[in-house]
């Protein structure tokens, strides 16, 4: 999901 993709970044 786009949310997980965002939270993958530091």
Partner 1 sequence: MNVFRLTGDLSHLAAIIILLLKIWKSRSCAGISGKSQILFAIVFTTRYLDLLTSFISIYNTSMKVIYIGCAYATVYLIYMKFRATYDGNHDSFRVEFLVVPVGGLAVLVNHDFSFLEILWTFSIYLESVAILPQLFMISKTGEAETITTHYLFCLGLYRALYLLNWIWRFYFESFFDMIAIVAGVVQTVLYCDFFYLYITKVLKGKKLSLPA
Tokens of 6: 């965002």
CB of 1 to partner 1, least distance (A): 10
Strand residues in the chain grouped as ranges (E):
none
CB of 9 to partner 1, least distance (A): 7
Site string for partner 1, 1-10 (x = CB under 8 A): -xxxxxxxxx
Q: Is 1 exposed, middle or buried (0-12, 13-18, 19+ CB in 10 A)?
A: exposed
Residue with tokens 């939270």: 7
CB of 2 to partner 1, least distance (A): 7
Contact set with partner 1 (CB under 8 A): 2-10
């Amino acid at each position: 999901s786009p949310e997980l993709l965002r939270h993958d970044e530091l």
